[in-house]
Amino acid sequence: MSRVSTSGYLVFITIAAAFGGLLFGYDTAVISGAVQPLRSFFVEPLFQNAELARHVVGEFKTSLLLGATLIFCLSLYYLIRLYGLTRGLIAGGLVAFFGSWLMYDQVMSLPDQITPNLASSLTGFTISSALLGCVIGGFCAGSVSERLGRRNGLMMSAVLFIIASIGSALPEICNPLPLQDITVFNLYRIIGGIGVGIASMLSPMYLAEIAPSQIRGRLVSCNQFCIILGMLVVYFINYFIAHGEPQEWLVQQGWRWMLGSEVLPALVFLLLLIRIPETPRYLVMRGKHEQASRVLEAINGKDKAPAILQEIRASFAESAADAPWMSFGGLLIAISLLLSIFQQFVGINVVLYYAPEIFKNMGSQGDASLQLTIIVGAVNLIFTIAAIVLVDRVGRKPLMIIGALVMGISMLGLGTSFYMQNLGMTAMLLMLTYVAAFAMSWGPVVWVLLSEIFPNSIRGALSIAVAVQWLANLLVSWSFPIMNDNAWLNELFNHGFVYWMYGVMGLLAAGFVWRWVPETKNKTLEEMSATWKTGYVVDAKLSAHVV
């Protein structure tokens, strides 16, 4: 196969797989333009209808209980896979004890009546309900990738996107159960979130497993580029849907068009996936060596394919594909989890989900806040392109450390601007600087690292990191309106407290990467397996070596 055709084939595969990132970004950001309409449509009427409020609050509690139970069962499964049956059950018992106490104290003990704080919590859950599905999808993604394959798993996520888009736009019509409309809406958002959770793991995994090592960072970063592109596209769509329309129309119909618009890109994603192959590493894992060889030849050329195939086969021969996830030590798992947690605790998704609300707090209103959201999306996209250019040249660690420091300083400055009520151009520049720093570092590079650091034999363990990332996202996104609307905190800090908190997390993230995270630049996935197998040590010069 010629070099031109090989290059073209790889470009097509990259576009098809990275389209999962576009749906990821589209689905998670579409809600940003509908925050106020959804609050007005679903939550505010509860204050005028006590009977409706009683049913909604009861279903809200039940939903949280069922969601927490499902997440616990999935967590228990992974704890057992990590630590074995006995220690896994002990750890699961501790999680169940504290989780049950927290659930009862914070949710189940509340009366079935609406209050301002409960309304804020219900609004936060409605806006972030998809993230509950993302947690579930993240937990399931490992099993999906191992049983169905990377490509078929992505096809499953595309189908879930389509179902969720239609159902969330028309919850009154697509209601097969005797539930309140807001509960049905959240149910479909959770279904879409499961698709996002699966795609968020499988898209970068697919690209990492199919890409030549020398350009792997760029190709995996294309997934993040498509996430940001999806967000920017939906910002424009939300703006054009809302532009010039009265608030009453937005409350009754506008949010439906925003959420329903996802059907078209989801169908395109499904059609693209039909034309791409399964990854060679999954094919080898399933014993389909001839098919794996053909895929490697199409991507790397006939001269390189045999050596790469041999290396992949050797990596699986050393340990079974279903090896214990702690086979390479606890440090690998700990690093992957902390990368995921810090990526969310720096507060990026608060900016992306609640950007219009943040801009309203700064003084912008109506269309102006949505226009500023588009600027945020454009900055995010431009600097993600910069990350794609730099990640294989500069390396992963320098980008992550510099990005975390800039994010931390920017958020501390933004919180100070809110505290001092100096919300002009300085506050806007601080937010844009924060977004640019994230886009050049923790946005794409975390996914690159997570797709690279797991050895072939335990790549299913990546699902733990993905699930924890979505769990952290849910925690941050749900807690933001509760803290941001808290009268006591606002009286003391004028909305600044929450941004200071994210700033501190940025500084801690920089220290973590400097001390513990390995550099994966120019290493094959099989070389990373050897790194963890022989022992990993970090020096103080932004590098890693094997001892």
CB 424 within 8 A of CB 200: no
Residue that the structure tokens 């499904």 belong to:
270
User: Above pLDDT 70, what percent of the chain?
Assistant: 85
Are 219 and 254 part of one and the same domain?
A: yes
Supply the pLDDT for residue 547: 30
Q: Three-state SS string across 313-377, please?
A: HHHHHHCCCCCCCCCCCHHHHHHHHHHHHHHHHCCHHHHHHHHHHHHHHCCCCCHHHHHHHHHHH
Report DSSP letters for 57-110, one per residue: HHHHHHHHHHHHHHHHHHHHHHHHHHH-HHHHHHHHHHHHHHHHHHHIIIIITS
Domain's final residue, options 318, 335, 369: 318
∠ CA 209-210-212 to the nearest 5 degrees? 100
Name which of 376, 448, 444, 434 is nearest 226 in CA terms.
Answer: 444
Are 267 and 302 part of one and the same domain?
A: no
The lowest-confidence range among 195-209, 389-403, 446-460 is 446-460
Are 123 and 230 part of one and the same domain?
A: yes
Supply the pLDDT for residue 116: 77
Q: Report d(CA 47, CA 58) in Å as an integer.
A: 15
CB 129 within 8 A of CB 38: no
Q: Report d(CA 111, CA 104) in Å as an integer.
A: 12
Q: Report d(CA 455, CA 325) in Å as an integer.
A: 10
CA dihedral 236, 238, 242, 248 (to 10 degrees): -170
The yes-or-no verdict on residue 85 having pLDDT over 90 is no
Are 346 and 433 part of one and the same domain?
A: yes
Q: Report d(CA 65, CA 62) in Å as an integer.
A: 5
Q: Report d(CA 18, CA 135) in Å as an integer.
A: 20
DSSP structure class, residue 547? -
Tokens of 189: 């958002």
∠ CA 299-304-308 to the nearest 5 degrees? 85
Are 96 and 27 part of one and the same domain?
A: yes
Widest CA span of the chain, in angstroms?
72
Are 340 and 460 part of one and the same domain?
A: yes
Calculate the alpha carbon distances from 104 to 61, 68, 317, 457, 486 in Å.
10, 12, 48, 40, 22
pLDDT tens digits, residue range 427-449? 788 888 999 999 899 988 888 88
The lowest-confidence range among 266-280, 316-330, 496-510 is 316-330
Q: Report d(CA 158, CA 293) in Å as an integer.
A: 28
- Report the CATH number at residue 532: 1.20.1250.20
Q: Name the H helices within 367-424.
A: 367-394, 396-419
CB 447 within 8 A of CB 208: no
Q: How many domains does the chain have?
A: 2
Supply the pLDDT for residue 543: 42
pLDDT tens digits, residue range 87-118? 778 877 887 787 777 677 666 676 777 777 77
Span 37-41, mean pLDDT? 88
Are 113 and 59 part of one and the same domain?
A: yes
Report DSSP letters for 233-293, one per residue: HHHHHHHHHHTT--HHHIIIIIHHHHHHTTHHHHHHHHHHHTTSPPPHHHHHHTT-HHHHH
Q: Please state, rounded to an integer, the average pLDDT across all residues of the chain.
A: 81
Supply the pLDDT for residue 190: 92
The yes-or-no verdict on residue 2 having pLDDT over 60 is no
Q: Report d(CA 347, CA 45) in Å as an integer.
A: 30
Are 398 and 289 part of one and the same domain?
A: no
Are 100 and 120 part of one and the same domain?
A: yes
Are 247 and 200 part of one and the same domain?
A: yes
Q: Report d(CA 118, CA 112) in Å as an integer.
A: 10
∠ CA 269-272-276 to the nearest 5 degrees? 130
Higher pLDDT, 271 or 425: 271
Span 143-166, mean pLDDT? 92
Higher pLDDT, 272 or 204: 272
CA dihedral 215, 463, 342, 221 (to 10 degrees): 20
CB 346 within 8 A of CB 469: no
Q: Report d(CA 4, CA 269) in Å as an integer.
A: 25
The lowest-confidence range among 12-26, 115-129, 265-279, 306-320 is 306-320
CB 242 within 8 A of CB 370: yes
Supply the pLDDT for residue 366: 54
Reduced to 3 states, what is the DSSP secondary structure of residue 487?
A: helix
The pTM of this model reads 0.76
Q: Report d(CA 346, CA 169) in Å as an integer.
A: 31
∠ CA 110-116-121 to the nearest 5 degrees? 65
Are 67 and 108 part of one and the same domain?
A: yes
Are 145 and 231 part of one and the same domain?
A: yes
Domain's final residue, options 286, 318, 350: 318
Domain's final residue, options 318, 350, 382: 318
Higher pLDDT, 357 or 335: 335
Q: Report d(CA 114, CA 47) in Å as an integer.
A: 7
- State whether the Cα torsion 396-401-404-407 is positive or negative: negative
Supply the pLDDT for residue 225: 85
The lowest-confidence range among 96-105, 299-308, 340-349, 353-362 is 353-362
Supply the pLDDT for residue 364: 57
Q: Report d(CA 467, CA 200) in Å as an integer.
A: 10
Q: Report d(CA 112, CA 545) in Å as an integer.
A: 58
Which residues span the domain enclosing 284? Answer: 278-318
- Report the CATH number at residue 291: 1.10.286
Supply the pLDDT for residue 194: 92
